[in-house]
Structure 1
Amino acid sequence: MIFASVLILLGVLLLLVIGISIIQQQKARVEAERRIELARHRAVIDETEEVLSNTGLFPCSSDLILMLYRRVENALTGALPIARNQSSDYERRLIDLRGQIQVLQSTPKPAPAIELFRLPDSDRQILTLVQTLKKMKAILRAEHNKGKVDPSVFSQEEQRIDSLQLRINVDSMLGRSRAACFMKQYGSAKQMVTKALATLHTIKAQTPNDPFIAQKVEEAKAMLEEITGAQKSAQPVVIKSKSDDDDIDVLFQPKKKW
């Protein structure tokens, strides 16, 4: 009887240990999933806020700013229930953000003219601008695929981003063309400035009254003429040797009769 009681007690203890282990594993799994989900929301918040901080580098419309605000709002809303000790911080940020969204919706501003865009002077800022536009375009497409951006707004804003990227590419091509010309690599320089001119004509067809594009077209044309002139000057001059002339004279002189 005692032996049977001991066996029963051991069985109960074994089941208890197994149960505790299962519960701990379940808690660990839930905690791991919570951390992964929180990290995902935080990554969205950090990426979007980084893009927002760089919108001063290019003409950005209220529609794009509002899209970015709402993306942060959705991420904060998803993070709030699982943030635990950070919940108060997320709640405060959510309140502030909703206030900014309300202000932006009540006082919408017209999209700034893309013709006023000028490239930053710093190479570092230009690199930041290129990366920001790339991220902005990816975010715009992702939000549109989720049905959170109106199709007309999506089409208009994507076209603006494409135009900005083309302008940056043109300036980059002209810069590389100058560098290649300085290194006397006239073939590469001519190829790049010709490509830049083709891109400029494409942009000019879309925005014919853009003074920046008109200026760049004239700059590219002048550069092309300069490169062509330098290329001709660099070509070696072929001087016929006297012996070649003598050979030709001998060939065509009257034949002697023997």
Structure 2
Amino acid sequence: MAFTLVLLLIGALLLMVIGFNAMQQQKERAEALRRTELTRQRAIMEETEEVLSNTGMFPCSPNVSLVLYKRIREAAKQAVQLASPQQKADYERRILDLDTLINNQQGIGMTMPSLESFKLPDNDRQILVLVQTLKKLRAIIRDEHNKGKLDPTVFANEEGRINNLQLRINVESMLSRARSSCYMKQYGSARQMVTKALSTLNTIKGQTPNDPFIAKKVEEAKATLDEINSAVKTNQPSTPKYKEENDIDVIFQPKKKW
């Protein structure tokens, strides 16, 4: 009887230990998931804030700023649910600040800034940042659209503006590289860059046929191509020509006697 009781007690103890371990493991998994999700929301906020801080490099529409503010706010709201008590207050203050920014943005109106004011940065590093920013912005807009948080018409307009900006950057970069190659007397590479630039301009013309940028850059590309062709002719090695009289002198010169 006593032996049976001991066995029962040992069995009960084992069950308690197993149950405790299972609960502990479940708690650890939940904590790991909480930390992972909180890290993901922080990454969303940081990436979106980075894009927002770089929107001054190009004509950014109010719609885009509004989408970015709302995306940060949504991530902050998710973070509040996942953060520790010490962190919650910071995220809550952030949400209040974002609410103010969103209200102010909505009060400004949705006037689209003209892309004609866009100028490519002179610094290569800034150009790289601009290209990366537009790439991230495109991904964000598509993600918000897929979530149903962005009107299809607004999405189409904003994606079109991003495409147009990327094409403009490509044209400006290719023409700049063409001029550099021409300066280095690499005329083949220079001509190839200009040809690509003209092809890209035709693509832009198909999207925005009345865009003054196209006519301006087409003229610039043609002028650069003329400059390249002129430089090729100027630097082409001349073919040696023999004077007729010299050839006659050789034929009728006195023969040597051996």
Other-structure match for 1:43: 43
Alignment of 1:90-105 (within 5 A): 90-105=91-106
C-alpha contact 2:66 2:105 (8 A) present in aligned 1: yes
2:57 aligns with 57
Task: Tell me the equivalent position of 2:199.
Answer: 198
TM-score by length of 1: 0.87
Residue 218 (structure 1) shift: 2.9
Asked if the contact 1:204–1:214 (Cα under 8 Å) also holds between the matched residues in 2, the reply is no
1:199 CA displacement:
2.4
* Cα displacement string for residues 185-241 of structure 1 (whole angstroms, at most 9, x for unaligned residues): 21111111122123234435625353x544433332221111101112232222355
Correspondence for 1:151: 152
One-letter identity of the residue aligned with 2:172: D
TM-aligned CA deviation for residue 31 of structure 1: 0.6
Amino acid of the residue matched to residue 208 of structure 1? N
Question: Which residue number in structure 1 is paired with residue 119 of structure 2?
Answer: 118
Q: Aligned partners of 1:181, 1:106: CA distance in 2, in Å?
A: 50
**Amino acid aligned to 1:181:** C
Deviation at 1:50, TM superposition (A): 0.7
Matches within 5 A, 1:1-258: 1-84=1-84, 85-203=86-204, 206=208, 208=210, 210=212, 212-240=213-241
Q: Tell me, in whole angstroms, the C-alpha distance in 1 between the residues paired with 2:219 and 2:112.
A: 28
Identity across matched positions, percent: 59
Q: Distance in 2 between matches of 1:140 and 1:234?
A: 50
Name the aligned partner's letter for residue 10 of structure 1.
Answer: I
- What RMSD, in angstroms, separates the aligned Cα atoms of the two structures? 2.2
Quote the residue 1:254 is aligned against. none
Q: CA deviation at 1:5?
A: 2.2
Give me the whole-angstrom Cα distance separating, in 1, the residues matched to 2:209 and 2:45.
35
Partner Cα distance (1:132, 1:209) in 2: 24
Does the 8 Å CA contact 1:62/1:110 hold for their aligned counterparts? yes
Q: Gaps (5+ residues) in structure 1?
A: 251-258
Contact 2:121–2:127, Cα closer than 8 Å, also in 1: yes
* Partner AA of 1:94 in structure 2: I
Offset, 1:173? 0.4
Given the two structures, how large is their TM-score scaled by the length of structure 2?
0.87
**Structure 2 vs 1, CA of residues 28 and 209 (structure 1 numbering), >3 Å: closer, same or farther?**
closer
Residue aligned with 1:174, SS: helix
Between the aligned partners of 2:107 and 2:173, the Cα distance in structure 1 is: 39
Structure 2 letter corresponding to 1:67? V
* 1:13-32 CA distance string (max 9 Å, x none): 11111111001100011111
Contact 2:63 2:110 in 1 (8 A): no
Q: Aligned equivalents of 1:5 and 1:145: distance in 2?
A: 63
Which residue number corresponds to residue 255 of structure 2? none
